[in-house]
Amino acid sequence: MTPPRAARAVTAPLAPLSHWGIGALLIPGLVLLASALPVKSQDADVPTVVSHGYSNFGTLKYPADAAHLDYVNPDAPKGGEISIWAQGNFDSFNQYARAGVPAALNTIGTESILTGTADDPFGAYCFLCTTLEYPEDLSWVIFNLRDDVTFQDGTPMTAEDVAFSHNLFLTQGIVEYRSLVEAYYGEVEILGPYRIKFNFKDEAPLRDRIGFAGGTPAFSKAWFEETGARLDQSTKTPFMSTGPYVLDSFDYNRRVVYARNPDYWGADIPLNVGRNNFDRIRVEYFSDSTAAFEGFKSGAYTFRNETSSQTWAQQYDFPGVEKGYVVLEDIPDGSVGTHLSWVFNLDKPKWQDPRTRQAIEMMFNFAWSNRTLFYDFYKQPASFWPGTDLAASGVPSEAEVALLQPLVNEGLLEASILTDEVAMPAQHDAERNRPARQIVRQATQLLNDAGWIAGDDGMRRKDGQLLDLVIIQRDPLYDRAINPFIENLKGIGVEGRLERVDTAQYVERRRAGTFDLANQGFQMDFEPSSGLEQWFGSKTADNSSRNLMRLRSPAVDRLIASVVAADTLDDLTSSVHALDRVMRANRFDIPLWYNDATWVAYYDMFRHPETLPPLSVGELDFWWYDAEAAAQLKSEGAL
């Protein structure tokens, strides 16, 4: 089996997993290590394992005595400020609540017991702990916590705080999280001031057990009790945790500034060497990407991740670039590509027939859009794991058929899924936006079969209802792709409309389901497990920030269970292939594009290691500030 490329961290974790700095990813649910040491439990004569970390597949990259991570500069200087941008507005510092719009980077000061690295896709390491212990059957795990960890107010972190934080998510966490993990745990025992035990129920997925227990953020119990803060309510400050950055200042809807904590407990531990180098991280807010780009050109902020192909291709010719003040880098992206798409709201009756959805999907011409609008920079993400060996291809393998056949036998899937090529988006001509006659004929037949009949005015109706759709969007950047799509919809008798909304409306309408099509970026990883329930599971469809399309499919639910139960890489791959195949056949989304590179522009006062890890660009994590270069830029009037 070809080893997968390493995964980049998602910015909004599926479960409440804390970030190791900005770029690392904690993979939940990991099992026995060959390098771990067997001992006997203090509770019974049960052989247990003691280790500094976990991996479901293979061994950990880093030994317990590693001096620092391979991809950092251990001599990186501390100091300076880096600034980035965010769109819209904010009125809260709590990303875990449905209420409010959270500020950017609001979890930058949050840490958890376990953490990941940017070059070990399957590994997780003790961070707030020194070691952990577990039996071979993973019925429980004990974390031996560090005794030198302090919260940002200087008070010590203990096992009592960890237990409190765990229970906080089980009682006040968002419904989509609680519905998944509340059945995982039995009793959580505090065995001592720095020793805590999580007991798991039999139904808890093996690969998720330790990762979920070790991935919960560590919050201060005393702070929550003193302030009366709740996880399910918006807050005016970040939660008190143990991380390297604290809130410095903010101006609602304009900027937020985080400062490096000079008393940070973990500044000198090996896992942090060469990291957390900036004194300040500033976020400037703009109404849209066009205004933000103008702000970057003027020096209002200093680091920009570019997401517009048009801007990248045509607009980085301003004086700052020409004079060498601004550096441009095209960095290969080793992650699972983000499957950006428009998703249908399946709760609306008109979108419940897959033939209707497929006909609508066929009117988006990616080939023309990519050549004409995007300068051929993008690829279309047919799979939910684009660019990886987890993407389904061709006809099902024997292993896939073994998973799919029972679902066909039970009437949950059409028999054609066993023999057909995997579903692909319509393949268009790049020379013009208008779909070819053959594609139009096929889409027309699908709509006719679904009961949407064209009237004298050319528009399609069923039972007197017009087939129309509303695409909600907050950024005019997408207009150049949406408007040609709407033009093509008119050609098959569908009335499309773009509704521009502000950030607060955008968030609320996605939550409430008052849309026909909305953007969603599906960010999967190389070890998918029960987090798939939040993206695609029926149990989260009524109230989910990720299952935005309200997908309820017994076949998908069964295949998610197969993915979760997989205990070898081969089994995992086959299960993901089958799941990917079935979801693509469902046609619940219109695949748009993804980028297999990361485009960054920054003022020439930041430095990074010569070789970046595949997991993350890491600009807020392990880059550093060059004071002499910054002074030179200022002396020349660049900033």
- DSSP line for 174-230: -HHHHHHHTTTEEEEEEEETTEEEEEE-TTS-GGGHHHHHHHSB---HHHHHHH---
- Whether residue 580 sits in one domain with residue 443: yes
- Whether residue 343 sits in one domain with residue 281: no
Q: Does the residue 327 lie in any domain? A: no
Q: Does the residue 614 lie in any domain? A: no
- Whether residue 343 sits in one domain with residue 238: no
pTM: 0.82
Q: Does the residue 95 lie in any domain? A: yes
- Residues whose CB falls within 8 Å of the CB of residue 261, separated by 6 or more in sequence, listed in order: 109, 152, 243, 244, 245, 246
For the chain, report the end-to-end CA distance as a whole number of angstroms.
50
Q: Does the residue 612 lie in any domain? A: no
CATH of the domain at 408: 3.10.105.10
Question: For the chain, how many structural domains are there in total?
Answer: 2
Q: Does the residue 171 lie in any domain? A: yes
State the Cα–Cα distance between residues 99 and 78, nearest whole angstrom. 36
pLDDT score of 27: 31
pLDDT score of 610: 94
- Whether residue 463 sits in one domain with residue 393: yes
Q: Does the residue 331 lie in any domain? A: no
State the Cα–Cα distance between residues 220 and 151, nearest whole angstrom. 7
State the Cα–Cα distance between residues 4 and 6, nearest whole angstrom. 6
Q: Cβ(47)–Cβ(95) under 8 Å?
A: no
- Whether residue 213 sits in one domain with residue 69: yes
Q: Is 476 exposed, middle or buried (0-12, 13-18, 19+ CB in 10 A)?
A: middle
pLDDT averaged per 10 residues in sequence order, the chain, 639 residues: 29 27 29 38 70 90 97 98 96 90 95 95 94 95 98 98 95 80 87 97 91 93 97 95 98 96 97 98 95 97 95 95 97 90 97 98 97 94 95 98 98 98 97 96 98 96 96 88 97 96 90 94 92 93 90 98 94 98 98 94 98 92 98 95
Strands in 453-454's sheet, in edge-to-edge order, are 453-454, 460-462, 465-466
- Whether residue 142 sits in one domain with residue 5: yes
CATH of the domain at 122: 3.40.190.10
Residue with tokens 């609008």: 373
- Whether residue 475 sits in one domain with residue 549: yes
- Whether residue 352 sits in one domain with residue 276: no
- Whether residue 405 sits in one domain with residue 264: no
Q: Does the residue 332 lie in any domain? A: no
Which domain range does residue 51 map to? 1-285
Q: Does the residue 607 lie in any domain? A: no
Q: Cβ(537)–Cβ(549) under 8 Å?
A: no
Strands in 81-87's sheet, in edge-to-edge order, are 81-87, 280-286, 255-260, 245-251
Q: How many helices (H) and strands (E) does the chain have?
A: 17, 26
- Whether residue 345 sits in one domain with residue 275: no
- Whether residue 80 sits in one domain with residue 193: yes
Q: Which of 593, 611, 632 is the last residue of a domain?
A: 593
